[in-house]
Amino acid sequence: MLHAIDLDVPESRLTAVVGPSGSGKSTLLLCTAGLERATTGSIEILGTDILSLSPRRQAAFRSEKVGFIFQEYNLVSSLSVEDNISLPARLAGHRVPKPRVDDAMTRLGIAKHARRRPDRLSGGERQRVAVARVVANQPRIVFADEPTGALDLKSGHVVLDWLQALPAQGTTVLMVTHDPHAAARADQVVVMGSGRIHAVIPGGDSRAVSDAVLAAQSVDEAGDEAA
């Protein structure tokens, strides 16, 4: 449950959302992306009120302007790596130029797996495919829900490097994470607790992020005890 959320995500910036488990981080992300329906309020992405869009227009909006990276299950199991990368564009009714797909795969180090299906890839490789999909389709905004949660340190760093690099191409990134070090790489960090925004702090300092999360958790626990 989210309460009284008023959040402005700056364009072409990486914004991280952190908070204790159950604080509403992922719900906020999914509502913002239009994947969960908010019961009240309004959500504007790139100047479009997504709640007012019909399901058809919302789908078109997603395929053309939005990219997603989840913790797991990012890929269609029956499609090859290159098919997965070009999926959003094909759903929007056009094709991503093949050189752009090849370039994205090469940059992410997965070109040799182009024809493989996800079940032949490791977790890190699957996540790189999800990032390559974002790189190739060049969406205006990317929603990432715990994108490094299931990865080893090295693969996690590769994914974060790319998420950090995307704003330079004009892409806005909103990332939910539990990891203070990952959150510290963002331009701004939104700290949540009990479905509310506790604080918005600048990125760069993982210790400050940890302290803010612990403070939010303490406030939540104090609220629970009082109730």
Binds another protein (CB under 8 A): choice among 145, 186, 197, 209: 145
Shorter beta-carbon distance to another protein: residue 75 or 209: 75
Give me the phi and psi of 80, to 5 degrees please: -70, 170
Query: What residues pair up with 14 in beta bridges, in sequence order?
Result: 173
What is the C-alpha to C-alpha distance for residues 14 and 175, in angstroms, rounded to an integer?
A: 7
Nearer to another protein, 22 or 202 (CB): 22
> Does 47 contact another protein by CB under 8 A?
no
Find residue 16's DSSP bridge partners.
175, 189
CA distance linking residue 39 with residue 37, whole number of Å: 6
Number of chain residues interacting with another protein (CB under 8 A): 39
> Cα–Cα distance between 164 and 153 in angstroms, integer?
16
Task: Output the six-digit token pair for 100.
Answer: 């752009």
Please state the closest distance from residue 111 (CB atom) to another protein, in A.
20
Q: Per CB under 8 A, which of residues 58..117 are in contact with another protein?
A: 59-64, 66, 68, 70-80, 83, 87-88, 90-92, 117
What tokens were used for 101?
A: 């797909």
Q: Is 39 in the site for another protein (CB under 8 A)?
A: no
- Of 145 and 179, the one with the shorter C-beta distance to another protein is 145
Q: Is 127 in the site for another protein (CB under 8 A)?
A: no
The Cα diameter of the chain in Å comes to: 60
Rule CB under 8 A: which residues touch another protein?
Answer: 26, 30, 33, 35-36, 55-56, 59-64, 66, 68, 70-80, 83, 87-88, 90-92, 117, 119-123, 145
